[in-house]
């Protein structure tokens, strides 16, 4: 099937048409480019500034500050985005166009493209670059009104081969016709007809209709997932209706839009585009630390409902990185257990249908057997090999340790010892994405840090039953030890934390890929492991039936994650 058609898009950039202040009233397609910068606490810099060679009248800046900024601030607040400062520039005017400008840019023609580029820059929402827009924003409530110079603007749009649509307020053409002389009205009519031969002329009544033409639905979904307004928390429905409708358009029904886009992509044979949306959705929920209840069942149902030939020819399993799936599954609660299994089935391609009898007829089993799919098993093994574990887990934990510095390497008291290990534990959780400000509980954190120390220093305890022994050993080292004191304690904690997180990762990946109650899946996993390690296993083991080791698949997986030699040693002991 053909690839998905790419639509040119950019963030903080809107196309428009400027009438040049020349005797011939020429117009040129140009872009309003906005650099949005988050305002820091107590910032006093101007919120609207200009850059570039095109001069702009001060009245335009004042209008932006009094009318456009309040609109953008309210929309950004509803999208959970901070207020920004905006630096504007007018770009893509040809050299001869710039030289023909007799004075500053004036009037209200910049309003609509400036407003939508500000919204784009503040939210990370891309805008179509094959559409030009013009219009006056008449109030801070979001009303749009007509501007003049339509004949020249239509001509300029028609000349530009990159433009597919020309958008203006519905009254633009009507007002232009009313105020123009009969000859001019005839000229505008001819320009509309001529322009339609090259691009669509779209008349809109409000900003929502304008944005609907400028924003690609899947790009809105991706921006919402990546920039935190997929599920906004602020209620903004009590304001002026035009602006409320804009907020609803940008922040409402993302769930419905998401599933509609994913379904269309899969059914149209664009599995890569669907997976891009799924990847962004997984990352969003992992960042939020919340499992999306019901998500796995809905995705599995969608994939099962695809025509078999579409699934076989266009969908490659695993759908997403197995490690990413495991991280999302790890967020599930006991109530989500069934849905989590369905998520694993969807991501790994488990669509086995049991044989059944209906009206005395035997129905053959139709199956996409994930256990026999080399690509899936290869992806699973890739997630738990030692190199990948270092890259995905060990590297971030080591970086967290390296970034944690202390003024003193000695703990002066018990309280300071526990304060340091708890702070360091929270630092590691935060750096590897396992904690957010809303999930921090100091009591739980201190217990987690203490348990980590107990496990890390377990060998230094005189008796396995002495739970306080490892803690005392670590405290003695932190106060007066000879191996580095607190630095050594933190180093040992780091290695223990790394080992535990790697074990959790391996268990999550195995839970996704291998059903502990399904012998065929266990045999398939061991067979894949044999194939992967064929050159490293002694002949005596290579000749064995993989079924012999099936029930030990977890032990073999952990051995594989440790080292290749360790796998052989474990097999010999079985």
Q: How far is CA 411 from the centre of its chain?
A: 42
From 181, 188, 186, 185, select the one nearest 154 (Cα to Cα). 188
The residue whose two tokens read 């990370």 is 124
Write down the pLDDT at residue 154. 85
Report the chain's mean pLDDT, rounded to a whole number. 83
Write down the pLDDT at residue 473. 92
From 197, 134, 136, 191, select the one nearest 166 (Cα to Cα). 134
Q: Residue 110 CB: number of other CB atoms within 10 A? A: 28
Write down the pLDDT at residue 449. 92
The residue whose two tokens read 């630092």 is 427
What confidence tens digit (pLDDT) does each residue in 452-502 have?
A: 999 999 988 777 777 788 999 999 999 999 999 999 999 999 999 999 988
The pair of structure tokens assigned to 99 is 């030289």
Q: Say whether pLDDT at 557 is over 80.
A: yes
Q: Percent of the chain having pLDDT more than 70?
A: 82
Distance CA 191, CA 151 (A): 6
Confidence label for 1 from pLDDT (cuts 50, 70 and 90): very low
Confidence label for 571 from pLDDT (cuts 50, 70 and 90): confident
Domain ranges of the chain: 9-223, 261-351, 389-506
From 162, 152, 173, 91, select the one nearest 132 (Cα to Cα). 162
Q: Residue 490 CB: number of other CB atoms within 10 A? A: 23
Write down the pLDDT at residue 95. 46
Write down the pLDDT at residue 215. 95
- More confident position, 93 or 80: 80
Query: Which three-class secondary structure state does DSSP give residue 166?
Result: strand
Q: Which of 93-107, 135-149, 246-260 has the highest mean pLDDT?
A: 246-260
Angle at alpha carbon of residue 75, lines to 244 and 42, rounded to 5°? 140
What's 234's DSSP letter? -
CATH class of 9-223: alpha beta
Q: Residue 223 CB: number of other CB atoms within 10 A? A: 23
Q: Which spans in 45-110 are helix H?
A: 58-63, 69-78, 95-100
Distance CA 461, CA 447 (A): 19
End-to-end, the C-alpha distance of the chain in Å comes to: 50
For the ranges 234-238, 378-382, 430-434, 462-466, the lowest mean pLDDT is seen at 234-238
Burial of 331 (0-12, 13-18, 19+ CB in 10 A): middle
The pair of structure tokens assigned to 31 is 């872009």
Q: How far is CA 336 from the centre of its chain?
A: 23
Write down the pLDDT at residue 190. 60
Q: Say whether pLDDT at 184 is over 50.
A: no
Q: Say whether pLDDT at 178 is over 50.
A: no
Q: Which spans in 533-563 are helix H?
A: 539-542, 553-562
Query: Which three-class secondary structure state does DSSP give residue 484?
Result: coil
What confidence tens digit (pLDDT) does each residue in 237-249 have?
A: 555 678 889 999 9
For the ranges 133-137, 209-213, 333-337, 562-566, the lowest mean pLDDT is seen at 562-566
Q: Say whether pLDDT at 364 is over 80.
A: no
What confidence tens digit (pLDDT) does each residue in 37-70 have?
A: 988 776 678 899 999 877 888 899 999 999 999 9
Query: Which three-class secondary structure state does DSSP give residue 426?
Result: helix
Angle at alpha carbon of residue 169, lines to 164 and 170, rounded to 5°? 100
Is 0.75 surpassed by the pTM of this model?
no
Distance CA 108, CA 56 (A): 11
Q: Which spans in 315-367 are helix H?
A: 322-329, 337-348
What confidence tens digit (pLDDT) does each residue in 383-395 have?
A: 888 888 888 888 8
- More confident position, 514 or 262: 262
The pair of structure tokens assigned to 45 is 């810099």
Q: Kindly write down the DSSP assignment for every residue of 106-130, as one continuous string.
A: -SSTTHHHHHHHHHHHHHT-EEESS
What confidence tens digit (pLDDT) does each residue in 237-295 have?
A: 555 678 889 999 999 889 999 999 999 999 999 999 999 999 999 999 998 889 999 99
Confidence label for 193 from pLDDT (cuts 50, 70 and 90): low
Confidence label for 439 from pLDDT (cuts 50, 70 and 90): low
Phi-psi region of 34 (alpha: psi -120 to 50; beta: other; left: phi over 0): beta
Write down the pLDDT at residue 4. 63
Distance CA 341, CA 510 (A): 12
Mean pLDDT calculated for residue range 404-427: 90
């Amino acid at each position: 099937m053909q690839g998905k058609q790419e639509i040119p898009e950019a963030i903080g950039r809107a196309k428009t048409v400027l009438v040049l202040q020349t005797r011939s009233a020429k117009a040129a397609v140009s872009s309003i480019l906005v650099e949005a910068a988050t305002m820091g606490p107590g910032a006093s810099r101007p919120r609207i500034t200009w850059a570039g060679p095109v001069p702009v009248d001060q009245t335009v800046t004042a209008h932006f500050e009094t009318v456009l900024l309040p609109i953008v601030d309210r929309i950004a607040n509803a999208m959970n985005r901070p207020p920004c400062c905006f630096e504007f520039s007018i770009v893509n005017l040809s050299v001869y166009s710039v030289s023909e400008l007799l004075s500053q840019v004036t009037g209200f023609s910049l309003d609509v493209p400036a407003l939508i580029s500000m919204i784009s820059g503040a939210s990370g929402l891309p805008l179509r670059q094959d559409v030009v827009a013009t219009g006056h924003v008449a109030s801070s409530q979001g009303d749009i009104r007509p501007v003049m110079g339509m004949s020249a603007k239509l001509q300029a749009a028609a000349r530009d081969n990159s433009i597919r649509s020309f958008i203006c307020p519905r009254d633009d053409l009507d007002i232009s016709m009313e105020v123009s002389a009969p000859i001019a009205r005839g000229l505008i009519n001819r320009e509309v007809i001529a322009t339609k031969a090259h691009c669509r002329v779209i008349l809109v009544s409000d900003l929502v209709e304008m944005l609907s033409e400028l924003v690609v639905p899947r790009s809105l979904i991706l921006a919402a997932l990546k920039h935190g307004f997929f599920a906004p928390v602020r209620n903004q429905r009590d304001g002026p209706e035009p602006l409320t409708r804009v907020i609803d358009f940008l922040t409402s029904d993302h769930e419905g839009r998401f599933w509609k886009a994913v379904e269309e992509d899969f059914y149209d044979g664009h599995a890569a585009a669907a997976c891009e949306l799924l990847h962004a959705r997984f990352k969003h929920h992992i960042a939020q630390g919340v499992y999306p209840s019901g998500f796995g069942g809905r995705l599995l149902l969608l994939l099962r409902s695809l025509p078999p030939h579409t699934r076989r020819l266009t969908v490659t399993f695993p759908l997403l990185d197995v490690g990413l799936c495991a991280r999302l599954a790890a967020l599930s609660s006991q109530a989500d257990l069934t849905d989590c299994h369905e998520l694993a089935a969807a991501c790994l391609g488990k669509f086995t249908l049991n044989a059944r009898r209906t009206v005395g007829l035997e129905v053959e089993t139709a199956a996409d057997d994930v256990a026999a799919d080399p690509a899936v098993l290869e992806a699973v093994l890739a997630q738990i090999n030692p190199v990948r574990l270092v890259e995905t887990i060990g590297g971030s934990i080591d970086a967290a340790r390296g970034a944690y510095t202390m003024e003193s390497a000695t703990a002066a008291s018990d309280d300071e010892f526990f304060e340091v290990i708890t702070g360091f534990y929270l630092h590691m959780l935060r750096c590897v994405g396992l904690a957010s400000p809303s999930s921090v509980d100091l009591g739980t954190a201190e217990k987690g840090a203490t348990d980590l120390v107990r496990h890390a220093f377990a060998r230094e305890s005189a008796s396995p039953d002495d739970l306080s022994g490892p803690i005392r050993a670590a405290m003695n080292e932190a106060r007066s030890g000879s191996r580095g004191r607190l630095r050594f304690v933190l180093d040992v904690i780091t290695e223990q934390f790394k080992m535990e997180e790697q074990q959790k990762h391996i268990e999550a990946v195995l839970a996704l890929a291998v059903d502990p109650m399904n012998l065929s899946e266990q045999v398939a996993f061991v067979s894949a492991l044999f194939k992967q390690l064929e050159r490293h296993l002694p002949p005596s083991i290579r000749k064995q039936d993989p079924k012999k080791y099936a029930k030990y698949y977890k032990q073999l997986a952990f051995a594989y994650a440790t080292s290749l030699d360790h796998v052989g040693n474990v097999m010999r002991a079985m």
